Structure 1
Amino acid sequence: MSTWPNARFDILYYDDKADSNEPCEVILAGDELTVSYYNEHIEGYVIYKGKEIAPGHFELTAPMVKGHATLHRFLDAEVLVGEWIEDGYKGMWRIELN
């Protein structure tokens, strides 16, 4: 199992809004990836969890925010990139593990 408790992410909304350098935690346990971060709008943590569907390609869901996301990573890379849909909003994200 690999854990990055101090990972950071940049997020781009397709409606032109962006947030950068937000804290998150990433856990990779076998073929399961978990990304969690604090969301001030719901005053709690959002937890995306999913399985590796092909080497380095993950599909995740976060039921508490009607979220669906993808993340992609090259072998041993320190960056994950992908797209997300959450409560009707859409965008892209980039997570730096270290």
Structure 2
Amino acid sequence: MTIWKHVIADTYFDDGSPPALRQRDAGEVRIDEREIVVSYEDDDGVVIYRGNNDGSGHFSLEAPERNGRASLHRFIPNGNFLEGYWIEGGNRGMWRIELGQPDLG
């Protein structure tokens, strides 16, 4: 399993708020041959999105506790960026996650 801690996320909201919210140390991404897990903390606590990894670089994720679903795409194999959309409760938008260097220890 590869783990990236302190990823950087650009989150876009489709609600008329400012066009981008840049979050440093926004969370953690874990990817192995079976699964992807994206976790972060917001004002209401920890959020965990999980999805299957079929090896294609395209992920469909869910966060049942938040009524959330999302997609992420890694267009370059082993690339540093994941991009996609999210819907959580009544909110929706897009996100881009910069992985950086994996945590090796």
Q: Which amino acid aligns with 2:94?
A: M
Q: Is 1:36–2:39 an aligned residue pair?
A: yes
The structure carrying a bigger strand percent of its residues is 1
Q: Is 1:50–2:51 an aligned residue pair?
A: yes
In the alignment, structure 1 segments of 5+ residues that lack a partner are: none
SS at structure 2 position matched to 1:64: helix
Task: Calculate the TM-score normalised by the size of structure 2.
Answer: 0.85
Counterpart among 91, 94, 98 of residue 92 in structure 1: 94
Aligned equivalent of 1:83: 85
How many equivalent residue pairs?
A: 96
CA distance in 1, matches of 2:28, 2:64: 18
Q: Which runs of 4+ in 1 moved over 2 A?
A: none
RMSD: 1.3
CA distance in 2, matches of 1:70, 1:37: 16
In the alignment, structure 2 segments of 5+ residues that lack a partner are: 101-105
Deviations 1:30-76 (A, max 9, x none): 13100000011x1x100000013560000000011100000000201
CA distance in 2, matches of 1:65, 1:47: 9
Alpha-carbon distance, 1:21 to partner = 2.3
Aligned equivalent of 2:4: 4
Aligned equivalent of 1:26: 29
Task: Calculate the TM-score normalised by the size of structure 1.
Answer: 0.91
Name the larger-Rg structure. Answer: 2
Q: Which amino acid aligns with 2:10?
A: D
